Amino acid sequence: MQTLLSLLALGTVTVGAGTAGHRRLKLSRAKHTSMAGHPRWSRRIAAQIPGFAYDEQAFFGCDGAPDEVIARRRAGLDRLATLYAERFPKGRALTAEAAPGISDLQFTGAYRVPFPFAQMVRGKLGVGGFAERSEGVQVWDVDGNAFYDLTGSYGVNLLGTDAYKGMIADAVEQVGDLGPFLGALHPIVADNVARLKALTGLDEVSFHMSGTEAVMQAVRLARYHTGRSHLVRFCGAYHGWWGDVQPGIGNPVPADGTYTLSEMSERTLGILETKRNIACVLINPLQALHPNGGAPSDNQLVDGGRRAGGTEREAYAEWLRELAAVCRRRGIVLILDDVFTGFRLAKGGAAEYFGIAPDMITYGKTLGGGLPIGALVGKAALMRRYNPDRPLDICFARGTFNSHPYVMAAMNGFLRHIEGPEGAKLYDGLDICWNMRAARMTAALAAAGVPVRVAHLSSIWTVLYDVPSRFNWMLQYYLRAEGLLLSWVGTGRIIFSLNYTDADFDEVVARFVRACQAMQADGWWWHDAKATNKTLRRAVMREALAKRLGR
């Protein structure tokens, strides 16, 4: 891969000598060297990777395991398959019935594990996609099975589901007289705006229906007011699924107005100092957990090379401060995408946590009090959607459901909660609490002798593996068997709600350790003594190439 990128850089130099070629080379060198840092190449290469599925023999022995280990793996998978069939019959049947009409279920079902293994796993370990109730830190599926919730509802569930159920019920009571009347604003909106302005120190607010929409509006306004064409995002960062901020795999349209640059890089700061067409820079503070790496997911886990953690909070904060200083000097709008991390790291969000002052902040997820929301808070000069001197020069943005009365009332309940005495308790010693819990989990895993540890950013965790195994992704199925519920991305992202007590957490640790021990006993972490993560990745590429060549 490095050789390929070096050749690309050489080609860039050859194409344009002199100043233009130098500028192009400088931009290329500011990109991360991974494929995620080169979205066009990642799309081209991804389009050439053929689909294929292992048969039963290859499934168990693709890493060259001896017969004794293959037998243990086969017996372990059969035991899990029997348990799943007995424990989840209604959920699996309902999912099978509904999936042909729900594209999301089709997608998540196909991409829980690396694709060569998916066909066998779906047949043996199909999981249900439906739940019936929640209480405390647990959720119950349609078969009546209770799980400790490690999904965090993709970031929404900060306070615990009981708190949001109360906020939604109160919202219906508060604004019920107006109902779903749209267009005019319920008076509660004014209170929300005042609270958000006080929290952020910014001037104006606009409401949207999702975090993706809020980011879209922030970028649009930045381009409108600066008159510049390009946005900068950082390698691996997620800002929603729209085209300009997802320029690589998953987006069928080229994002020609986007630069994907390397985070925590002096070369990137150099580009920002010299380029004249950059309207804004997007920061997703979750990247502090894995700079320049994409959101970890088990469907990409073909080896043990997942990386996260290792970046000190102060080092990342210093990078953000340097970035902000460059943006101020160059008139570039700094947008903090706090959709995922907002209110989870601190009451004042990532701006408070890392000590920076962005020009705009986007929110979503938990801010809605359990209902769908997106919000943009920014400086007055950037939030205006029209030019008072040119009446037809406008930056249009509207949404039928923006400022929906029930959403606004649930949001008001959330904001009042975090600003009250319960909120003060919530954030008191937050980092200390989750640092200690992560240490306890890692210590328990080490004591059990399993090759697993965790990395975290407060209550957002990812699971790391210390062996070069083709089967690390299997852990998600052992965890489910122990009553631990993960999202469809598996062990790549664990999100705890903050209502976990020490007793709740200790139970999660005990179950997590049992799942790892069972997986180890079934032989999934066997590996050849000469195997490395690099050799495993090369083996996968050889298999794909052979399939591509029809062998």
Three-state helix/strand/coil letters over 459-481: CEEEEEECCCCCCHHHHHHHHHH
- Residue 374 has φ and ψ, to the nearest 5°, of -140, 145
Of 241 and 251, the structure prediction assigns the larger pLDDT to 241
Of 46 and 421, the structure prediction assigns the larger pLDDT to 421
Amino acid 384: pLDDT: 95
In this structure, CATH architecture of domain 165-288+310-427:
3-Layer(aba) Sandwich (3.40)
Q: Compute the CA torsion angle 515, 295, 153, 148 (nearest 10 deg).
A: 10
CATH of 56-158+429-534 given 3.40.50.2300, 3.40.50.300, 3.40.366.30, 3.90.1150.10 = 3.90.1150.10
| Distance of alpha carbon 236 from alpha carbon 368, whole angstroms | 26
Helix (H) / strand (E) containing 393: strand 390-394
Read off the DSSP letter of residue 50.
P
Of 9 and 531, the structure prediction assigns the larger pLDDT to 531
- What's the chain's average pLDDT? 92
**Pairing relation of β-strands 258-261 and 390-394?**
unpaired
Q: Answer yes or no: is pLDDT of 458 > 60.
A: yes
| Distance of alpha carbon 394 from alpha carbon 396, whole angstroms | 6
Amino acid 509: pLDDT: 98
Rounded mean pLDDT, 314-333: 97
Six-digit token string for 465: 């593996």
| Distance of alpha carbon 451 from alpha carbon 438, whole angstroms | 16
Amino acid 9: pLDDT: 41
Amino acid 13: pLDDT: 40
Give yes or no for a contact between 457 and 119, defined as CB atoms under 8 angstroms apart: no
Rounded mean pLDDT, 121-140: 95
| Distance of alpha carbon 407 from alpha carbon 375, whole angstroms | 12
**Sign of the C-alpha dihedral computed for residues 375, 288, 434 and 306 taken in this order:** positive
Candidate from 103-117, 314-328, 368-382, 405-419 with smallest mean pLDDT = 103-117
Share of the chain above pLDDT 70, in %: 97
Domain ranges of the chain: 56-158+429-534, 165-288+310-427
Q: What is the pLDDT of residues 472-518, one digit of tens each?
A: 999 999 999 999 999 999 999 999 999 999 999 999 999 999 999 99
Q: Answer yes or no: is pLDDT of 10 > 50.
A: no
Give yes or no for a contact between 425 and 435, defined as CB atoms under 8 angstroms apart: no
Amino acid 18: pLDDT: 56
Q: Answer yes or no: is pLDDT of 42 > 90.
A: no
Amino acid 140: pLDDT: 98
Rounded mean pLDDT, 6-13: 40
Amino acid 17: pLDDT: 44
Candidate from 47-56, 133-142, 290-299, 509-518 with smallest mean pLDDT = 47-56
